[in-house]
Every structure is written in C-alpha cells, then in structure tokens.
Chain A
Amino acid sequence: MRELYYSHAIREALEEEMERDECVILLGEDLAEYGGAFKITADIVGRFGPERVRNTPISEAGFVGVAVGAALTGLRPVVEIMFMDFITLAMDQLINHAAKFRYMYNGKVKVPLVVRTPAGAGRAYGPTHSQSLERHFVATPGLVVLAPATAEDAKGMLKAAIRCDDPVVFVESKVLYGRRGPVPEGDYVTPIGRARVAREGKDVSILAYSRMVEEALRAADALAKHGISAEVVDLRSLAPLDLGAIAESVSKTGRVVVVEEGNTTGGVAAEILARIIEECFYDLQAPPRRVAAADVPVPASPTLERTVVPDASVIGRAAAALVLGD
C-alpha cells in the first residue's frame, strides 16, 4: 500500500470531502495561502478558492461561532484551531452552544461541525502551545471527540467526522504530522466509536490514543524482549468510547494500563479507568494503572518536557510492574 504522511492524509480527506460535498468549507487562521501553521491545508485554496478556504482574523470565539451557526443552517464547516491551547478561547461556542443545540432544541437541528486542532507536547513550545485538552470535550455531552494515531485513521476518521451530524473535536498531533504510514487509495470512512487493536497480546492491555499509541507500541516491543506479551488498543474515538473493545481486551489480559498525554488529574485516562472498574472489576488480576503527564503545565525546556510527558519507558515500566508485581 502507498504511504502518506499523517498530515497529507488529513489534507487528502479534506480535499476529497470538499470535492464530494460543496457544503464543506474551511475556516481558520493563516489557512489559505500559508496553508496553516502546520501546512495541513497547503494548496487547497488553489483548488477550491478563497470562498471555501477562508482565512480568518485572530478571533477564535468569533469564527468558531460563525462555524456553529453555519453548521446549524446546513453548511459543514471544518475549522482549524492553530494550537489546541487556543480552543479555550472558543469554549463558549463549543460547550454552551454547539454541544447543546441538538438536545436543547429537541432533535430538530443538527450541528455538523468539525474543529480540527493539533495537540500535545514534544516541540518545546512551552506551557501555552503544548497542551492536550481533549478531557474538557470528552466530559461535555453532545460532542464527538476523535484522536487518530495513524495516517490511515487520520484520513478515514476525518471523513467520518465531516459526514457526522454532531459537532466533532478532531484532535491531531503535531508530532505525528511528520510520521508516514500506509493509507488506502480512494474513499473510505473509519467508523466513529470503534477502537482498534494495534497489537495483540495476552498479559497486559495498554490503552492509548493519538501519539501515545506510538509510545505504547514501543513499550510493547521492549516488554516482548522481557517475555511479556502486551496488547495495545488504539482507542481512536474518545467520545463515544468503545467500551466493548476495552472490556474485551481487559477481560482477556486481566491487567490494564491507560495512557494519555494530558495531565493526570481528571483526565481521559481517569474516566476510562472508572469505566473499567465499573464494568470489568472481576476480570482484573491487578490494580489498573494510568500513565499520564505530571500535574504541572508542560515546560518549555526539553529536559523538563521529557520528564513531564509520558513515554515508552514509563509505560513499559508500569505494564511490567502489573505483570511481574512491584
């Protein structure tokens, strides 16, 4: 199969969906000629024109609001928020409005909106350009939250997001943009709400998403050398969560480590652990563990950043401790 960069897979999804449906428009800062801060939309304006690829002023609350209102009235806007940290500026539109409308108006409307945004650390940008804030959206009923880990899923899940009638927060990874992977030719859609077993194993389940899948797979390689068979589940869809796939893996291995790049307290991993305890308690042979960023802002200095954000070694040690005992 051909290989594409994760970033190019996203671009291909945007182009194919714009080709398929003229209701799909793009909004965001520096999006058109510049191609966005990470060049995801490079060249798209040349093909579809400035009416459909719209540069916005720096006014996240404003243009996300435009997109919510346009979605409410039939367009399918795809908004780019340059860094996920900046999505906080549009929280009112997303949480109080986009997430509410379908329920509040008794199912009479839909909000087919996608907000794409790169999250995560690894580039020494410092505390306000390195956060993983998906927890806030996962905790808000009415929003779909997707976080692909591979180029193939980046394309298939973005196409699903654009065709979805509910507002989607689409979490990309600035580090994964530069990773290549196999991507099928042509049109395909990765269903929302389905996890993927990225590696089969029998001793311990490692549940991860976005860039942490890569770290989990590295950890699984290292664990294999020590005779430990780790299963890696790529969650992909954080809301809705694939509880069936999680329960299946946990009941098979009896041990689980949940990984996220965001801070530890009140995070996505915390929620998943709670679900596992509720649903799979009697399948567990060891206390479930989470591996997440330390509860501090992400520091700029590379040595500190590396300490704060989880990596394969931390994940591997946590998994090994569950299997071997401390």
Chain B
Amino acid sequence: MHNSDLLRHMLHQMYRIRFFEQRLKDFYDYQGYFEQSQPSTEAQNTDDLLTCTMYDFSSEGMIGGAVHLYIGEEAVATGVCAALRDDDYVTSTHRGHGHAIAKGMDLRLMLAELMGRADGCCRGCGGSMHIFDITHGLLGGNGIVGAGMPLALGPAFAAKYRGTDGVSVAFFGEGASNQGTFHESLNLAALWKLPVLFVCENNLYAASTPACIALPTPDIAPRAQGYGIPGVIVDGQDVVAVYEAAAKAVARARAGDGPTLIEAKTYRFEGHCGVSSGHQNPEECEEWRRRDPLALHEARLLAEEHMTQPEIDALRASVLAEVEEAVEFAQASPWPSPEILAEI
C-alpha cells in the first residue's frame, strides 16, 4: 500500500495534465484542417481542409501549428514521473505535454510557448512539439517519431560515466517502436547496461494508423527478450500500476542492472492532432473512456479513504485556477521580438 501523499500527488498531476489539455481546445483553431474525417471531394470541404491562410491563428491568444493532446493517457506520464527524481531525465514525443507537466513543467511557461509568446519556455522558438525544461530534466518534446529513444541513452551514459545514480526515461508510442531507433536503442542500452526506462505508450494508433495494421503482434514488451532485458506490460489507465512498474525499473537501473522496457496499454481519447470532433473509432473510444484514468484513481482514493469528496473537489478547483492563471499569464505575454534570434 502506498502512502496517501504519493496517491494524492498523482491525482493532482493527472488533473493538471487533463485540465491544461482540455483548456487548449479553446485556443486551438486548426480544427477541420488536419483531422477532417471526410476526404475533400468538394470545393467547399476542401476550403475547410486546405485553405487556412498563413498565420490565421495569430489573433490574441490563439495556438497554431500542430497540437497533440495527451487526454486519456495521463496515468502513464504521471505514474512514471512519480517514480523519478527531479534530476532524472526524460525525453518526450510529439504528444509531450503530459510528460512535461508530470516532470514539473510550469504551466504558465508551457502555455506561453504554445501561444508563441516571449515568456514561453523556448521563447516561441519551439512550440507544442518542442517543450523543454532542463531545470526539471525534461530534454524536450520531439517532432520526429522515434528520435527521443537514442537521445535518452545519452544522459544515462553520462550518469554511468560520472558514477552517479541518475536514470533517464524515453517515452514513445507503439508507432515509434517500428523505427530503427527503437531497436538500436534497446541494443545499445542492454549492451552497455545503461540506466534507462523505455516507456512505450501503446495507445493503439499512430496518427490514423491502427496498431493492428502496423505491428505484426499486438504487444511491444516481448521484444525486450531479444535484447535480454525485462519487458513488462502494465495497465496504462491505472496510475498505481504504472508507478509500481516504473519504480521497479528505476530501482533496477539505479542499481546498475540496466534498462527495462515497459509497455503501458493506454488510449488517446482525442484525435491525432488538434481538436477534432471525430475519433477514428467512436465505439472503441467510448469503451476506453469508461476506464478514464482520473476517474479510476479518484474512485480508489475515495474507497481507500485517502481523500474525501470535498478534498477532491477542492483539488480540482485549485488546478482549474492554476490553469486559468496560466491562460492569463500567456495571453498577457508579448510576442517575441525577432532580435532574440540573434541573441540565442
């Protein structure tokens, strides 16, 4: 049994991710462009799809580019990062907001970055796919699928070289497990016994492509056997299950016994990119929504009397307030001045 502080902390982090991501929907105005379920056969439809003029989102407070929401997968980032120290490292993905928040990212700096403002964590140079916060060990979101895995080996290599007990985590999706970098990284990490956690968020879709037509087998974890390292499957909707698997892998890594591959079975409640009304498979999505990681954890905390309903309500309210503060901060932040490009 875990202590109440840890369990409450994880609920708090999941609220921060969920409410932040929900609020982004109010600011993202590329809907219809990227995620249209209907192919563009007629001009009117095509106008919606393809004629977004340049910079049509630069009005006050809007978010452009590509935004990939983490809603539905909160338990994975939260459970893994709860097992880490602040000085451990994480490499993230294009769907990286949840990893950033769970690793300690300030919501204000992150939202300002999404809005392309001067106070953003990268002063507007990175955007949604490149959220970065080295003070909390976040080595960046990543616009290239599969690229974060080898990068995560670097800090693990450095920790081993320096003789510290630091670990690093590579988050990636099941789609990325088809890249060569996945296999190269597992081989290198196993060969050199690097203190790494490979955390596969198997959410069943790579953009629109279902895992069943992109992977010859449904599970990623057994691939670990080929490299002689542990491969475990966890329920990615259960934050405690994720935490326990991560804590075990972290202990193994800190002890010098090498990497672990963790496959979290999870689901993306929203479309691939942006705010879409249509999901690739509404029935399947409904099925998964019944196992919403936030609801599952709330129910556990109430049943085991770690929290009361009024305490939960108060926690939700405090996170909603934190998100609104981030909105005000980001909207008040100026646009970055071009001079910063010469300063960097």
Contacts and interface: CB of A to CB of B under 8 A. Distances in A.
Nearest to A82: B207
A128 B50 contact: no
A303 B52 CA distance: 17
B116 interface: yes
Contact of B124 (A129, A294, A304): A304
Nearest to A8: B46
For the side of the interface on B, what is the size category?
35 or more
Interface stretch (B98-106, B149-157, B292-300, B335-343): B335-343
Interface majority SS on B: helix, strand, loop or mixed?
loop
Given A57-B178, A303-B58, A7 B143 contact: no
Contact of B144 (A86, A303, A307): A86
Interface in A275-305: 294, 296-297, 299-305
Interface residues of A, number: 49
A303 B336 contact: yes
Interface string B110-126: 00010011001011111
B126 A127 contact: yes
A124 B126 contact: no
Contacts of B125: 126-127, 297, 299-301, 304
A42 B338 contact: no
Interface in A13-33: 29-30, 33
A303 B341 CA distance: 11
B117 A301 contact: yes
Contact of B58 (A62, A294, A302): A302
Interface of B: 34, 36, 39-41, 46, 49-55, 57-58, 64-66, 113, 116-117, 120, 122-130, 142-146, 175-176, 178-180, 206-209, 213-215, 335-336, 338, 340-341, 344
A34 interface: yes
A58 B145 contact: yes
Contact of A58 (B53, B55, B146): B146
B32 to A, nearest CB: 11
Interface in A301-325: 301-308
A221 interface: no
Nearest to A296: B341
B213 A124 contact: no
A124 B120 CA distance: 15
